[in-house]
Structure 1
Amino acid sequence: MLRNLLMTPKRILVALVCLTIITSCKQENSKNTKVSIENNNASTSYSYTFDNGTTKAEVTVSKTPERAVIFSQFLTEMLLALGLEDNIILGTSEGEIHESLRAAYDKIPNKMQGHHSMISKEAFLLLNPDFVSGWSDAIKPQTTGDAQELLQNNIYPYVLNSIKSNATLETVYSDFIELGKIFNVEDQANTLVKELKDKLAEAKTSFKTAPENKKVKAVVMGTLDNGAYVASALVSNLIEEANGVNIYKELTNNYEMVSYESIVEKDPDIIFVYVTADGVSGEDKINFLKNHPALKNVSAIKNNNIHALLLANVAPGIRNIDVIIKMNELFYK
């Protein structure tokens, strides 16, 4: 019955899918809370700091989460990669789930599709969750309750460090390890991280490169009529790992709005447009850029070097190694 409540058009006011362009949580005056969920039967515990840019809370996990609500594809896939499909009560996709994880994803009883998808606070609480995470703005008073309220309701709030400023591939690895500790699958997390590191190390033995002053200049963006959301932070490091340079590596936010004039000035050699479940295809975004009069002299446009990719490929997760490998191929083909 609850699944119908979330998924049917008749209950659209209860389960509203918000399809919006990525925005980064701005640093504001932070509230600090110190609340932990107690479980006298637990033999172990793990503590971490929840910080979504507006609220901080010290969280002590003393009971393995069993009913996780996840409002992003990247974190849904991370938990599935750790074999935690039975611990997820609601998962989210922003495009095709990774092929290796589709069977596991099918086992999740409640699903949502859309970028920055959310449901009503009432529907969220009806799921009886004990863990919630997603993009930085997924946890807020209007939709889930703030961190303090969640903890008082025995729900662990969580946000990955790898969607914050200055994140790198090492941050992604650390997040996998932390999720392993929270969900009591630390061995699986260590094994997965080793596999990812080994895969990249093996691939790098055949990577092409160039001198620093001749490395390919790249940008990863979403498009709007009046500008573009460009990616930095983790994405800058992924491009660097692929032996390229992000033209917006100096930006501190994970995603930030820039003008098309700025893109013209920086003149990227290659452009990646990210695709979400917002109804605009990668082909549409590419054609928009090709036909934008202000961009006609940009090297990537003139050389038809524009490529679409799912946002999940450059968000933290199991796809990062594959996208690094693919980027290197495209940088120096």
Structure 2
Amino acid sequence: MKLSLGRAPVMVCASTALLLVATACGDAADSSSSGASGPGPASSSAAYPVSVENCDRTLTFESVPQRVVSLWQAPTEMMLALGLKDRIAAMAGNYGAFPESIASDTKDIPAIGTSMAWPSKEVLLSQEPDLVIGQSLEGFAFDTSAGYASVEQIEQGGAQVYGVSMCGATDNLNMSIDTPASGLRDLGKIFGVSDRAEELVAQLEADKKTVVDAVQGQPDVKVAFYNGGEGPLIVLAGGIYDSAISTAGGTNVFPADSLYMSKEEFAASDADVILVGTFEGQDFSTLSDYLKKTFPDLPAVRDGKLTEIPVADTDASISVMKGLTQIANALHPDLHLPVPQS
């Protein structure tokens, strides 16, 4: 499965991770929105041209982009939440189920990649996009050694390229649960639906505040975020994972640059809670049974504190506060916080 751990794509069979828009004047989109804070067409009062800063570049749009190719699930979700289905010409293969609020909107969008690979240069350029959105602007979907189009090649074809979550392939450690807000605001400006973007950002911030207020004064919890493997074990650490854990009142027991840990290292972690991160195709009961059998003396295993967390809910997208709330409930079971929908 092609997935980003927030640090680089990891090609493993069951493994590992890691915004939009109708228009102004005669360019207004007719698509209806089914986003995180409710349906309704996005309205626009934006005047073009508009510019946004992205990865030390200024992108200027003379009008609303009409043919967008999304190379990462997060911006696809964000565009749909902003009511921009009709602007999406194609999307890459996705790494998880879409949130229920927008899942039906994805059915008619052509997928030009798979969960194992992004679209080739020829396939991507054949879509004649005027905007291409990736997670990062380096490597990943733009790796020419894998047959993908580079940012420069896409720009030569007449499209602009926007990196929604990070700039370089190693910038994952800078991501946090607040990262989606900047992408939403930029895409809201690009597509002339800043009001809708601000509604989504306000909801994310409100959901975060609910968790922050609830965990205030709670004891710090030692947390391991396990994502499969039996030696070495795959762990999620750094970047958005540590951001979610710390906001929920915990501390990741593994360093920010961790990816693979030996059985001995995992056993020595002394974790109070183990978050079991799953992707589609991974079975929580199988993973938790392995942990119970292999690490019976870990406090988290001994006390039965193993909780499934869909890794897609910790991606830098519209579900990030859903993941945050699930983590807070796992760390502090007495809170019983209502999990927001996305």
Per the normalisation by structure 2, the TM-score is 0.73
Q: How far has the Cα of 1:20 moved from its partner? A: 5.6
Is the 8 Å Cα contact of residues 168 and 238 (structure 1) preserved in structure 2?
A: yes
Is the 8 Å Cα contact of residues 96 and 279 (structure 2) preserved in structure 1?
A: yes
Is the 8 Å Cα contact of residues 232 and 260 (structure 2) preserved in structure 1?
A: no
Q: How far has the Cα of 1:89 moved from its partner? A: 2.0
Closer, same or farther: CA 221–100 of 1 in aligned 2, 3 Å: same
Closer, same or farther: CA 247–146 of 1 in aligned 2, 3 Å: same
Find runs of 4+ consecutive structure 1 residues off by over 6 angstroms: none
Map of 2:40 onto structure 1:
none
1:156 corresponds to 2:139: no
Deviation per residue, 1:194-248 (Å, 9 max, x gap)? 122123334555x24555xx41112223222323132321121111221222223
Map of 2:293 onto structure 1:
291
Is the 8 Å Cα contact of residues 211 and 325 (structure 2) preserved in structure 1?
A: yes
Is the 8 Å Cα contact of residues 236 and 246 (structure 1) preserved in structure 2?
A: yes
1:275 corresponds to 2:278: yes
1:236 to 230, 233, 242: 242
Is the 8 Å Cα contact of residues 85 and 107 (structure 1) preserved in structure 2?
A: no
Map of 1:94 onto structure 2:
95
Q: How far has the Cα of 1:57 moved from its partner? A: 5.9
**Which amino acid in 2 is paired with 1:299?**
P
Q: How far has the Cα of 1:101 moved from its partner? A: 0.9
1:173 to 172, 178, 181: 181
Q: How far has the Cα of 1:98 moved from its partner? A: 0.5
Structure 2 residue matching 1:129: 3-state secondary structure: coil
Structure 1 residue matching 2:83: 3-state secondary structure: coil
Q: Using the alignment, how far apart are the partners of 2:262 and 2:130 within structure 1? A: 41
Closer, same or farther: CA 60–260 of 1 in aligned 2, 3 Å: farther
How many pairs were matched up?
A: 287
Closer, same or farther: CA 274–260 of 1 in aligned 2, 3 Å: same
Deviation per residue, 1:63-97 (Å, 9 max, x gap)? 43222222332222122111111111223432221
Is the 8 Å Cα contact of residues 228 and 258 (structure 1) preserved in structure 2?
A: yes
Matches within 5 A, 1:196-215: 196-202=204-210, 204-205=212-213, 207-210=214-217, 214-215=219-220
Q: Which structure 2 segments of 5+ residues have no match?
A: 10-26, 28-46, 334-342
Map of 1:15 onto structure 2:
none
Map of 2:70 onto structure 1:
70
Is the 8 Å Cα contact of residues 47 and 58 (structure 1) preserved in structure 2?
A: yes
RMSD: 2.9
Is the 8 Å Cα contact of residues 180 and 187 (structure 1) preserved in structure 2?
A: yes
Q: Which structure 1 segments of 5+ residues have no match?
A: 1-17, 27-40, 51-55
Q: Using the alignment, how far apart are the partners of 1:327 and 1:155 within structure 2? A: 39
Q: Using the alignment, how far apart are the partners of 2:215 and 2:287 within structure 1? A: 28
Q: Using the alignment, how far apart are the partners of 2:98 and 2:147 within structure 1? A: 25
Map of 2:338 onto structure 1:
none
295-304 vs 79-88, which moves further: 295-304
Q: Using the alignment, how far apart are the partners of 1:99 and 1:284 within structure 2? A: 26
Q: How far has the Cα of 1:181 moved from its partner? A: 1.9
Closer, same or farther: CA 234–21 of 1 in aligned 2, 3 Å: closer
Closer, same or farther: CA 178–20 of 1 in aligned 2, 3 Å: closer
Is the 8 Å Cα contact of residues 22 and 229 (structure 1) preserved in structure 2?
A: no
Q: How far has the Cα of 1:189 moved from its partner? A: 0.8
Is the 8 Å Cα contact of residues 74 and 316 (structure 2) preserved in structure 1?
A: yes
Is the 8 Å Cα contact of residues 89 and 110 (structure 2) preserved in structure 1?
A: yes
Q: How far has the Cα of 1:148 moved from its partner? A: 1.3
Map of 1:80 onto structure 2:
80
Deviation per residue, 1:127-172 (Å, 9 max, x gap)? 2222333443122224432111111112222223367322223332
**Which amino acid in 1 is paired with 2:153?**
E
Structure 2 residue matching 1:291: 3-state secondary structure: helix
Is the 8 Å Cα contact of residues 144 and 150 (structure 1) preserved in structure 2?
A: no
Deviation per residue, 1:289-324 (Å, 9 max, x gap)? 3333xx332222222322222221011111121222
Is the 8 Å Cα contact of residues 176 and 193 (structure 1) preserved in structure 2?
A: yes
Q: How far has the Cα of 1:182 moved from its partner? A: 2.5
